[in-house]
Structure 1
Amino acid sequence: MTIRNYITILLIFISSTIISQNRFDSVEIKSIKLTEHTYMLEGAGGNIGISIGEDGVFVIDDQFAPLSDKILASIKKLSDKPIKFLVNTHFHGDHTGGNENLAKAGATLIAHDNVRKRLTEVQKDGSNKPKEALPVITFNDKLNIYINGESVAIFHTENAHTDGDAILYFTESNVLHTGDTYFNNRYPYIDLNSGGSVDGYISAVKRSLMVINDETKIIPGHGKLSNKQEYKTFLTMLESLKSSILKAIDEGKTEDDVKNDTSITKTYDDLDYGTGFINSEKIRLTFYRSLKTKQNDSED
């Protein structure tokens, strides 16, 4: 590599780092009180869940690393107790980016087995996650943590948003954190390349709905604080899209046919479900690819 090329690459790296940092400078961490002991934090990335009490601070997800100082400052306003545990609902960077920083702040990291496996893989830029960013406690199916006067039930849902999703339910506070098995008022991101599937995603929502009641406060992975009725509406949308796209597959429609058929998602496009990270074309493609793959597998 010539010196000129090296300098060019270095300048690109520095510029991208500055742009990335500036992206978060204007982000404010908003704290929403749910119960006497639980809070939801909004910022950039996945919504954060917080439990405070005599035992210490319990955290669910941590957004991006550049926001850690702001997140820690927001937590400090809620409690002067130490951070005891951090649970990752899955491995995506907008939920695990602050792992290293929160571990250094004292948190013990917990996640599903597959989250640790994916975080230990080589990253897209060729780097490896530092040891401090990795969960030190993992589980396969379910886990209970007793903290701040209640049991927090943590359960894994298979092949939903990813292959390592965890949903958490605060049994006394009646608060549910869904991770990215729920995008409130928008189409979800189902990561097919990381073990996610349409059927698994729908099953995850149904399982969560069995746990809660009409008074439950729901922290979605993305979107505003929610409730059972809104979560049921989300399920109806998922099942409606599945039915329509299965019909198209049975009729022999191709991937391009479904991609271009806006009538499939019109009802929810009109409700602005496609204005988030996943637009209407992407959700049609995701459903088609997931359901078609399952159909092909069953025929083999």
Structure 2
Amino acid sequence: MAIDAIRNAARRKIIQNLQWLHGIRCVNGYYLLVKRREPSSYPRRTAGMAYRGRMMSGAGPAPAATGYAVACTLSLMLALGIAPAAAQMDLTGMWVPLPRNQDGSGDTGDAAGIPWSIDGRRRAHSWSAEEFDTAEWVCRPHAWNYSIEGPLSQIRFLPIIDRATQRIIAYRGHIQMEQQETVIWLDGRPHPPANAPHTWSGFTTGEWEGDVLVTTTTHLKEAYMRRTGLMRSDRATVRTRWRRIGNYLQATTILYDPIYFSEPYVRSTNMWVNMPERPMSPYPCEEATETVVPRGSVSHFLPGRSPLPGLDPDRADEFGTPYEAKLGGAHTTLPGYVDELAGMEVAPDGADPAAVFERPPGEDIAPQPLWGIEPQGAPAPGEIQVLPVQGNVHALFGAGANITVQAGEDGVLVVDTGLESMSEAVLEAIRSISDGPIRYIVNTTHTREHTGGNDVIAAAGEQVPWRDANYSSGPQGALGRDKASVIAYLNVFTRMIVPPDGGEPLPEGGWPDNTYSTPWKRLHFNDEPVVIAHRPGTSDSNSVVLFRKSDVVSAGDLLDLTRFPRVDPDTGGSIQALVDALNYLISIVAPAENSAGGTLVVPGRGRIADYAEVAYYRDLVGVIRDRIQDMIDRGMSREEVIAAGPTWGYDARYGSDSGDWTTDMFVGAAYDSLAR
């Protein structure tokens, strides 16, 4: 009883402390606890959360802060003198957020205390608030890990119970802010393969550490961590520690992002009280026009031209925050950094906001280490991975370019065939989906990673039953009767015979025998309308394939989630045509809710996508197009533009300085297409 009394008293003390606790940062092996204290003569700000502004209730002056370091190897509760209980707690309840101190209460653009990477900073310094009002993004939600930070973070947790054992195998969570939902699986199931679709809430599993539920979330879409351009990439992992303390729920999130953060980002301002009587209000969203920005345009600021007050070196905020500190970075989270602020100039003379975009010689643009958390489930070299998409459609990964397979009673339709060397493995993968005859092959472009397997895979197929065996002319002119029909835009056929690189022609058995030169071609196959549309982008021969009943689009090279787009001006490609093609994709890819789900997209490379990935990719291509065009207008040469590196903010995610398609090659090709 005495131990219980001590523990209960300690828990009450925790709640009292948490009302004063502004945040926690794990920095170089230590927790930094940032607590309020009375104002001093100098309006100091802490490292870590860098508290500014009033409490959310509006009462009291803006406090400064003091940091305390506690070894990370101890749990926070132990650090506060509390031994964790061994029993697992029940998260079931209607959890209403308590007033909290949200970081980021200074000028918009101020990032002091944020351990972001150079790409994270550059991405944010290009951000425009108009982005939120464009038709493409008006229903983009706060992602789950951001939603729990906000004032509308009321959460309902309900258990999912296994009927046979009556054990809780998962919790289903619903958050008020834009109706985000998650499932925390507790039954030991693995995370999906790396090429599976990503969502705003991701895929979450949990394990109990005493009475703390530790969850791991992967498969997250790119999303903002603040509505000021601070982004979290789609390669991030989020660890959350949930603890119920009587009628209160507390969460600490740790973000691991190798793209936009140089160190883990810890946030612990979240606390709720259980109020079962509180109703959950709906939060629907319907696409609408909210701005004069034309549909299809990309809102952003060119380097050094952002009007955000936090990025203005000549502006002094009410706290006297030095401009250097506002630039953020991991060093601004260190406990001793607060002592350096007094020696900094608030508005230094000659500071240039564009300096953030200067690329020093030898700058390392590679992603940061992921702190021991690596994505799992990607196909090994030489392996083909088969994943269901939806409806009649599957996707094959690992054969070069991605392959789309539609199967049903009429047989099999294959979109692209991968590299020649992978043909037998591709055939085996197709047979794992269906034993039906391969009737059609559709090529989305002419390059060999899309067409290399045509000869072998077409030969393994059969002619369309209703094509007369003696038919030898017209749109289905037969090059061989005992083979699948190969469909492509006319220019694909031309470039297979005379390759643009001067190499050997592809084998004749893989040449298209069913070409089209009109805006689209339509089939009805496996009880499904199939629309093949010509959309020039990376070349003048790109096609997009829409399976209307399955609600799947095979996008080919127009969407490449692994690198910058392979634009080839020598074969009629251009960066402007690619933006136009991506806008076309946005128009036919219909999200189910909150700019996600609905129509799914098989890209030329990378994981299964949906509307959000297409819109993000359109944005990056549009931003880089505008930057290069601005440099051309200012008289910069091709070499000067490449050296300037106009891919700022996207290099760690999509860039490469080696291989058959580098960042410099992309910039050069984009320059050539705009300068013509």
User: SS at 1:207's partner residue?
Assistant: helix
Counterpart selection for 1:196 from 556, 566, 573: 573
Aligned equivalent of 1:152: 530
- Structural mapping, 1:43-62, within 5 Å: 43-62=398-417
Shift in Å, 1:268? 0.7
Q: Choose 1 or 2 for highest CA Rg.
A: 2
User: SS at 1:116's partner residue?
Assistant: helix
User: SS at 1:218's partner residue?
Assistant: strand
Q: Deviations over 1:254-284 (max 9, x none)?
A: 111101002x2121114x2103853332222
Question: Which runs of 5 or more residues in structure 1 are unaligned?
Answer: 1-24, 294-300
- The verdict on how the C-alpha distance between 1:125 and 1:202 changes in structure 2, with shifts beyond 3 A counting, is closer
2:640 aligned with 1:257? yes
Contact 1:185 1:234 in 2 (8 A): no
Name the amino acid aligned to 2:512: P
Contact 1:273 1:279 in 2 (8 A): no
Aligned equivalent of 1:269: 651
Stretch of structure 1 that moved more, 228-237 or 120-129: 120-129
Shift in Å, 1:99? 0.8
2:546 aligned with 1:178? no
Aligned-partner Cα distance in 1 for 2:499–2:660:
25
- Structural mapping, 1:9-48, within 5 Å: 26-48=381-403
2:626 aligned with 1:232? no
Aligned-partner Cα distance in 2 for 1:135–1:117:
9
Question: Which runs of 5 or more residues in structure 2 are unaligned?
Answer: 1-379, 462-483, 592-597
Aligned equivalent of 2:183: none
Aligned equivalent of 1:220: 603
User: SS at 2:604's partner residue?
Assistant: coil
Aligned-partner Cα distance in 2 for 1:76–1:27:
17
- The verdict on how the C-alpha distance between 1:155 and 1:123 changes in structure 2, with shifts beyond 3 A counting, is closer
Contact 2:555 2:603 in 1 (8 A): yes
Shift in Å, 1:45? 1.2
Aligned equivalent of 1:68: 423
User: SS at 1:238's partner residue?
Assistant: helix
Counterpart selection for 1:208 from 585, 590, 596: 585
User: SS at 1:63's partner residue?
Assistant: coil
Contact 1:41 1:48 in 2 (8 A): yes
Aligned-partner Cα distance in 1 for 2:381–2:499:
30
User: SS at 2:440's partner residue?
Assistant: strand
Aligned equivalent of 1:18: none
Counterpart selection for 2:625 from 215, 221, 242: 242
Aligned-partner Cα distance in 1 for 2:501–2:673:
24
- Structural mapping, 1:163-174, within 5 Å: 163-174=540-551
Stretch of structure 1 that moved more, 202-211 or 275-284: 275-284
Aligned-partner Cα distance in 1 for 2:590–2:499:
41
Counterpart selection for 2:520 from 142, 149, 155: 142
Contact 1:175 1:217 in 2 (8 A): yes
- The verdict on how the C-alpha distance between 1:257 and 1:126 changes in structure 2, with shifts beyond 3 A counting, is closer
- The verdict on how the C-alpha distance between 1:229 and 1:122 changes in structure 2, with shifts beyond 3 A counting, is closer
Q: Deviations over 1:104-156 (max 9, x none)?
A: 11221110000001111168576433321110000112111111111011100
- The verdict on how the C-alpha distance between 1:114 and 1:123 changes in structure 2, with shifts beyond 3 A counting, is closer
TM-score, length of structure 2 as denominator length: 0.38
Identity of aligned residues (%): 30
- The verdict on how the C-alpha distance between 1:42 and 1:144 changes in structure 2, with shifts beyond 3 A counting, is same
Contact 1:61 1:95 in 2 (8 A): yes
Q: Which runs of 4+ in 1 moved over 4 A?
A: 122-126
Aligned-partner Cα distance in 1 for 2:650–2:499:
37
Aligned-partner Cα distance in 1 for 2:621–2:556:
17
Aligned-partner Cα distance in 2 for 1:242–1:66:
35
Name the amino acid aligned to 1:108: S
2:456 aligned with 1:101? yes
- The verdict on how the C-alpha distance between 1:288 and 1:26 changes in structure 2, with shifts beyond 3 A counting, is closer
Aligned-partner Cα distance in 2 for 1:92–1:229:
27
> What is the number of residues matched between the two proteins?
266
Shift in Å, 1:191? 1.3
- The verdict on how the C-alpha distance between 1:120 and 1:237 changes in structure 2, with shifts beyond 3 A counting, is same
Contact 1:61 1:87 in 2 (8 A): yes
2:665 aligned with 1:282? yes
Q: Deviations over 1:177-236 (max 9, x none)?
A: 111011115311001111111111111111111111111111001111111111100001
- The verdict on how the C-alpha distance between 1:204 and 1:251 changes in structure 2, with shifts beyond 3 A counting, is same
TM-score, length of structure 1 as denominator length: 0.85
User: SS at 2:426's partner residue?
Assistant: helix
User: SS at 2:383's partner residue?
Assistant: coil
Aligned equivalent of 1:291: 674
Aligned-partner Cα distance in 1 for 2:408–2:670:
42
Aligned equivalent of 1:5: none
Stretch of structure 1 that moved more, 284-293 or 165-174: 284-293
Name the amino acid aligned to 2:415: I
* Structure with the bigger percentage of helix: 1
Name the amino acid aligned to 1:101: V
